[in-house]
Copies of this chain bind each other. A is one copy, B any other.
Amino acid sequence: MKALEEKIVRDGLALGTEIVKVDSFLNHQIDTEFLLQLGDEFARLFADAAPSKILTMESSGISVAVATALSFGKLPVVFAKKTAPSTMVEDTYSADVMSFTRGKVSTARVAKKFISPRDRVLIIDDFLAHGEAASGLAEIVRQSGAKLVGIGAVIEKAFQGGREKLAPYSCPVVALARIGQIENGEIHFLPAD
Contact = CB atoms under 8 A, between A and B. Distances in A.
Interface of A: 15, 19, 21, 23-24, 28-33, 35-36, 58-59, 62-63, 66-67, 69-70, 74-79, 81, 83, 85-89, 99, 101-103, 110-111, 113-114
Given A15-B87, A101-B87, A102-B85, A114 B29 contact: yes
12 contacts: A24-B114, A28-B79, A28-B114, A30-B76, A32-B66, A32-B74, A32-B75, A35-B66, A62-B62, A63-B63, A66-B67, A83-B102
Stoichiometry, copies per complex = 2
A28 to B, nearest CB: 6
The secondary structure that dominates the A interface is mixed
Contacts of A58: 58-59
Contacts of A74: 32-33, 36
B32 A59 contact: no
A32 B81 CA distance: 18
